[in-house]
């Protein structure tokens, strides 16, 4: 089976990085190396990393930045220096299950990328009795390139720390374009319009929730935004989606994919400009499960109340 480079972008991760590294080192699939780049931590993260590199010289390689560049540029650097056939993304504070890599490699098939489910745990690693599949309302029938692409036009379902990608594919995506906030979202979109991205509902990591996360579980922020529409939460979201989708190179798209992208652009422009016409309404009714990821009747009432 092909080799994997596990990449970890660290910053002030001393509290949890040992537990994460231990969980990766104990994987059932062992043909991997761990490449870590520290982004100028001012705690003991670097000392811990160097200890692990000394103990596992064949498994772990440490890089460091001369100045803080942020997680997006840090992951970009890690992709550049990765050498495996596949790249697996890891956060510094999660805990992998023993078969994390084995499952992803078994199911990626001919796709450019795969992602999976995760269990949410509190800062002490205790289960919160919910998975990201529940939080993100990922449908059991999400598989299929057009359903996945439509979903990605409205919200990301791919959790980066569960993602495995082909190196040859992702290296072509760097440098990431200006205007994207999260590498995993952009990678998922690009995979969807190339050789595909698939989703496995099996939980392969414990996703830690705490105040220091770079990107946290956003369920609560969505709820707050939904019930506080006067602050323009939904319009700001559509404005970002519009800008993000506009970065897609349409030369890569099939006729069906081009229609999906153009329809989504139309919808997001209508929402951000508050110019709702019959075409926007019809699109919403046809795609409510991808737009607000919940039951049809409730959100149609919400949509009509605030916008129509």
Higher pLDDT, 227 or 89: 89
| pLDDT tops 70 at residue 300 | no
The pTM assigned to this predicted structure is 0.90
Q: Whole-angstrom Cα distance, residue 108 to residue 97? A: 18
| Helix/strand/coil percentages in the chain, nearest 5 | 45, 20, 35
Q: Whole-angstrom Cα distance, residue 128 to residue 125? A: 9
| pLDDT over 70 percentage in the chain | 85
Structure tokens at 297: 């009747």
Tokens 């919940």 locate to 294
Q: Whole-angstrom Cα distance, residue 138 to residue 294? A: 10
| pLDDT tops 90 at residue 199 | yes
pLDDT at 225: 45
| pLDDT tops 90 at residue 222 | no
Q: Give the β-pairing of 197-208 and 113-121.
A: parallel
CATH 3.90.550.10 fits 4-208, yes or no: yes
| Contact indicator for 55, 21 with CB cutoff of 8 Å | no
Instruction: Name the DSSP class of 191.
Output: H
pLDDT at 111: 97
E strand or H helix at 238 = helix 233-246
Q: How confident is the model at residue 186 (pLDDT cuts 50, 70, 90)?
A: very high
| pLDDT tops 90 at residue 227 | no
> Which distant-in-sequence residues (6+ apart) come within 8 Å of 143 by Cβ?
198, 199
38 φ, ψ (degrees, to nearest 5): -90, 135
> Residue 65: how many CB atoms within 10 A of its CB?
17
Cα-to-chain-centroid distance, residue 158? 4
Structure confidence by residue, pLDDT tens digits, 115-161? 999 999 999 999 999 999 988 878 776 777 788 999 899 888 899 99
Give domain limits for the chain: 4-208, 219-307
Mean pLDDT across 235-246: 92
Mean pLDDT across 163-170: 98
Structure confidence by residue, pLDDT tens digits, 44-69? 999 999 999 999 999 999 999 999 99
| Ramachandran region, residue 301 (left: φ > 0; alpha: ψ -120 to 50; beta: rest) | alpha
């Amino acid at each position: 089976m092909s080799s994997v480079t596990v990449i970890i972008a660290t910053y002030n991760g001393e509290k949890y990085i040992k537990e994460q590294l231990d969980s990766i080192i104990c994987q059932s699939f062992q043909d991997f190396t761990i490449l870590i780049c520290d982004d100028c931590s001012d705690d003991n993260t670097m000392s811990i990393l160097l200890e692990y590199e000394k103990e596992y010289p064949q498994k772990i390689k440490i890089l460091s930045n001369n100045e803080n560049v942020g997680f997006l540029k840090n992951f970009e650097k890690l992709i550049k220096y990765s050498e495996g056939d596949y790249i697996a993304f890891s956060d510094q504070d999660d805990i992998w299950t023993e078969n994390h890599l084995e499952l992803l490699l078994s199911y990626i098939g001919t796709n450019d990328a795969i992602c999976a489910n995760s269990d949410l745990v509190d800062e002490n690693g205790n289960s919160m009795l919910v998975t990201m599949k529940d939080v993100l309302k990922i449908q059991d029938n999400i598989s299929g390139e057009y359903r996945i692409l439509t979903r990605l036009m409205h919200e990301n379902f791919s959790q980066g720390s569960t993602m495995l990608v082909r190196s040859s594919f992702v290296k072509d995506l760097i440098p990431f374009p200006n205007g994207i906030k999260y590498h995993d979202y952009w990678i998922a979109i690009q995979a969807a319009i190339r050789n595909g991205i698939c989703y496995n509902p099996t939980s392969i990591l414990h996703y830690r929730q705490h105040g220091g996360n770079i990107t946290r579980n956003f369920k609560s922020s969505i709820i707050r935004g939904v019930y506080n529409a006067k602050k323009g939460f939904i319009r700001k979201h559509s404005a970002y989606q519009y800008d993000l989708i506009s970065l897609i190179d349409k030369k890569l798209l099939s006729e069906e994919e081009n229609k999906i992208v153009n329809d989504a652009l139309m919808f997001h422009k209508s929402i951000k400009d508050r110019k709702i016409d019959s075409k926007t309404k019809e699109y919403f009714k046809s795609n409510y499960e991808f737009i607000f990821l919940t039951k049809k009747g409730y959100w149609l009432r919400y949509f009509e109340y605030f916008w129509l």
